[in-house]
Structures are given as structure tokens and as C-alpha cells.
Structure 1
């Protein structure tokens, strides 16, 4: 089962991202869908999400807001109805509780008419041995579509980035949530096709209050360094990953920012700070040599020391 510490962090992240996503979705379309699926009975996920929606209730008039909740909880419908009344959600918000696991998401989204409009799906698959392909393909019918997945336990060995690509998502980032207690780590996956939303997600990821007993780990970091949750994360792993990327060939600052956002746990904004340190240390070079470190500046590893050897 999901650890209590990581579950609290995930809920907070979902709520914070909903606060960013909802205004953008409402400006884009007169209808939108939020889908929540979890194999365990993590009741606080739905309650917290409905509370986040209630903050925007004054903007729902004339719009169709659909919330699909999938959970193997016999009391789900009654609880959500009570939550709707307590929060004062308007009639424009239609909540559809389905006492089943996330595997029925494709059928649920079709029934809700979610295709062609903004769709955000949160799927906790830590206790569900389901295939990612049909789930992500169903979410990808949204315009735009985004998915926040939690993997662990039975789903720990899934290949989410490849599955997201097959579904049509062009950007996918992963981070491991590592508790200090004996509970297992979980993998958090965010899939989108919009760089602006990826940046927003990363901003919220690092802006969370420091959770006691939970740290981040980059799944691609071969050394598996643990990172405290802070607005200024330790730059060591990003430094190594940028150098490894530059060993493959030169890249513009914009390309390195995109690389960091989608291929590491870091934000695009963290790249500027690390590149400044690498340039000062002589580990990389830039062209042109002077001026602002703008997006079109090319960064290269072809640097030689006075002795004619490239610095480590």
C-alpha cells in the first residue's frame, strides 16, 4: 500500500497543480474533465480535488465541468455526494463516482464525453497491475491532455515514458519519492505535450513544503542521489547530467533547458545557474563567448586546458 508520507505529498502536489491547470483550462474551453483513479481507498485524493475545484466555483457558470472518480470503494458515491454539499459545488460540476479500479478509465472517459476538451488525469497505480498503454491512450483523447501517474508495487516495472510517447504525449518527466522510513519508493510521472505546463508542474514539484521523511531521486541518476525538497535543490546531479548530454554534442541553452525539464527531475530555470558554474570552472565553453547567456547561445564540451587536455 502507498506510504502515508508519500501519499500526503502527492495529494498536495495534485491540488497545487489543479490551481494552475484549472484557470488555463477554463480560458481554453467551456468544458473540461478531471479524472481521478486509484486502486486503493485513498479517500483524501477525491476530497482534496473537489475542494480545489470549489475554489473556482464562481468561474464555472455556463461551463461543463466533469469529475470522474474511479475507486474500489462501495461507499464512494455517498461520500462524494456529501462532499459536494459540504463544499457547495454548483450544478455545473458533475461528479461521476464509479466503484471500480483505474482499468475502466477508457470506458468512463468515453461515457463522460471527455474527448476534445482539456483533460487532467491522476492515476494512482501503486496497487494495480494494469497496462499503461490503454490508460494513456484514453487520456490522450483530451485536447489538451495531461496525466499524473503514481507507480510502485505491482506497477513499479512499467515503462511510463515509452508508453506516454506511444499515446502521443511529447513530454514526460519522472521523479521518485523516497521515504526515510521502511516503506517503498514510488515513481511519479507527468505526461503532457505543452512545455509551459511541464514548467508549471516542475515549479510546483519543487515549491512544496519540505515534507519530513520524503526526498526526491532522479530515476536516470546512476548514482541515485537523494535530493531534499527545496526551491534551490542541490545542483550536483544536474551538473553531471548536463555534462553527459554535452558529451553527445553541443547544444543551445534552450535545448539544455528542455532537456533538464523533460529528462531530469530539475526545472528548466535550474540550468542557467549550473551553466554559469560550469563556464566559470572551464568545464564547458560557449559561442559567442561574450554577452548574455540567452537561449541561442551554444554550449560545448570542446574545452581545452592550458596543457591541451579537456578538464574533467
Structure 2
């Protein structure tokens, strides 16, 4: 069974340009080889594992957020969040979420309930940390790195990414997929509708900026290697963001227009929809990483995406290797 070839580290190289390499190689050729690298690294398995962790993080965090808003007296925030999630959920899923939110609100009213909600947030953060370690694992395999970071370093690194890139991605999801519902909920609690107008106009540029920043963090910090300058990661990062936006928009449109989805899956429709979004997000991220890895491999003069096609290098490329380009 072939694996993805190790991408030599090229941070020491100077004088070349990512766009020039992209133009000389051809974007179609690079995309084909990036897809081959993704398959050789078993990218679909890593995407499925990451999607599970994303879902395991998001759903408890949403319910805990409703309970926390109730416990702290933030009734407006609680109403906006609850109405948004129920509006997003097709078919009988809304009833299921209503019961879950009511239970969270009731639990938050008691002293022990507040402790339980705090524990829920801690559990969601731990799950997000594990999700980021999965991002590292998949990124390492795509770059041909056999060993992940040591356990303590790996989970600390994942925790830091969860507190930064993880929250940015989740915020972008709320802005894009739930933006219209949040705008409607804000209109209900704002008599003049000014909050809703500002929200509906501003959510797009803010959401795109959040995604670009989050993906840039993951591309730079996830692999266990010294990454090249941001210009060499920008193309793959922008490609991943573009795929994520398109796939998220298509999923949101499908959920908004489909009446059969809720009827087919019943109370599981919301869970299935969340899993689909998480899987599409994971695929976009790893495919973008594969493109960045393949572009750097071409820069190093080792363009074969799978083992068996070329020598599998392990050491960084020195300055003299530029002649091979």
C-alpha cells in the first residue's frame, strides 16, 4: 500500500515565488497530484475522524451555551441562540432541540446545574482539543511525516489551536449557516430592526475573515514540521476556504429547501445535518493541505505524491537544491 511521500522542508529556500511555481506547473496538474497525495495519506479516514470530533464538540457546546445564558440572566442571548438552532433544524428535530434546550434551562436554574453546565463546557473544550490533534495527525500524513508530536506537546498544541482556530471556525459556521435565522431572531428582540440589518450586512465579510484566519493558523501550526513562508501556504489555504464556502452554502441551501430530509431522518435530521457539515469542512481542510504540500514538493524538486514514484526524502532541502527546480 502506497503512502504520501515526505515533503522536504523548504523554508531555507529564497528567491522563488509560489505563484510562479503554480503557473509553471499548472493548477490542473497540481490539483490532480494533490488529490493523489490526499488518497495516499488516507485522507478520507482522517476527514471522517475529524468530522466526528467536530460534531462531538459542537452539539454539547450549543446546549451548554443556552444553559449558561439562562444561569447568567442573558435572556436575549438565550432566545436568539435557541430560536436560531430550532429554525435551522428541519422536521421533528426542532421539537427534540426544544426539549433539550428547556432541560438545559431548567438545569441551569439550580446550583448543581450550573456546575454541570461548566463541566459541559470543559468537556466540549477537551473534545475540541482532541479534534485539533486529529487535524495534526491528518496533516502529518499528508506531508509524509510519520511521527506526531510527543503526547504532552501534542495535546497542549491541540488545546491552543482549539482556543484559537477552533473558536474562529465555529463562529464562522454560525455566521454563514445560521445568519438568516439569527437576523430574524434579532429582529424579534429589536423593535426598530437595526440590529438585524447590521447583522445581515456584516456577517459575510466577518465570516470570511474568520475562516481565512482560522485555516491559515491550521496550515501553519498543525504539521510537525517547519512550514514555509505564508505565501506558499496561501494558495492551498484559499482553496480550502473557497471549497468550504461553496460546500457550506450548498448544504445550507439543501437544508432550507428540502422537506424530505426531516421526514426521512426524523429526530436525527439535525444530527445528520451537523455530521454532513463537519465532514465537508474536514474534506475542504485536508484537500487544501494536500494542495499546499504538493506545491512545496514541486518546489523541492520531488513532485511524486505517492511512495514508489520517487525517493522518499526526510531531511530539509538546502539552498543548493534550488538548482533542481
**TM-score, length of structure 1 as denominator length:** 0.31
- The structure that is strand-richer by fraction is 1
- The structure that is helix-richer by fraction is 2
